[in-house]
Amino acid sequence: MMKKIFLPMLLLLIIPSLSYALTADEIVERSNLAYYYAGDDGRADLNMRITDRRGRVRIREMTLLRKDIKDGGRQKFYVYFKKPSDVSRMVFMVWKQVKGDDDRWLYIPAIDLVKRIASSDKRSSFAGGVFTYEDVSGRRTSDDTHELLDDEQYNGKAVYVVKNSPKDTGEVEFSYYIARIDKKTFLPVKGEYYDKSGKLYRTISVDKTGLVDGIPTVLQATAENLSRGMKTTIEFKDVAYNVGIKERIFRERYLRRPPKEVKR
């Protein structure tokens, strides 16, 4: 009798994946949570390296603050530019909404202007590089339909391969994108964006990951615009989670007067 009971239990322990398989929607949602929602808040220093088709390089240094709001998925982002001098004190701030369009602001200190970034501009270049405003703060998973194509080995990692197609094709410049997602950490590994004619024109690759406070974290990522020959690499330094960032700093008044959290 014991053998009959023990064998099925042993099989469930060895092959638990047979009892439940994730859907494409669940995979994408877990990836979004792993990349954009780690901890209750976060702080990181960013080094952005922008390379054009002629090999000329521009450097941007900035600090990113992020706060999760405990009411169903809202977030607030604050990106403070430090170097070089032509972008110093510029601020990009986002209030991510669960429903409706996100709110985005850009403060340009040279002309003391606070500019609202329209929803139609969220796919525009962030700081003159290949990453977009939406790449920085995240794309709402409900904006796309998701289809699990395969799972495979990619750069030594077991990954899910998911096709993501926009529900509103007039809102974005791509027809679909393919995401490779690490099965173990659910961090993104690579994204491939295809234009309206089905041609690959843009990629985002995760170059380096590591554990921060026990949390799997992207430490370096590179975006390439294949049609324009541009490349942008962002390195995340001094990453920290659950540091007690206050929601009050994500207000329009702090666009002109940056909080102390970005000045260390």
* Torsion sign across C-alpha atoms 116, 114, 202, 147: negative
Average confidence (pLDDT) over 104-130: 91
| CA neighbours closer than 13 Å in the CB half-sphere of residue 63 | 16
Q: Average pLDDT for residues 183-188, to the nearest whole number?
A: 97
Q: What percent of the chain has pLDDT over 90?
A: 79
Instruction: Quote the pLDDT of residue 20.
Output: 63
pLDDT at residue 30 above 90?
Answer: yes
Split at pLDDT 50, 70, 90, the class of 11 is very low
254, pLDDT greater than 90? yes
CATH class of 22-258: mainly beta
pLDDT at 4 over 80: no
Torsion angles phi and psi, residue 65, rounded to 5: -115, 140
Distance from the Cα of residue 128 to its chain's centroid: 17
**What are the pLDDT digits (tens) for 63-95?**
999 999 876 678 999 999 999 999 999 999 999
Q: Is the pLDDT of residue 6 over 50?
A: no
Residue 217: which H helix or E strand, with range? Answer: strand 215-225
pLDDT confidence of 102, banded at 50, 70, 90?
A: confident
Mean pLDDT of 154-159: 94
Is residue 264 pLDDT above 50, yes or no?
yes
Q: Degrees (nearest 5) of the Cα angle 29, 33, 34?
A: 115
Supply the pLDDT for residue 215: 96
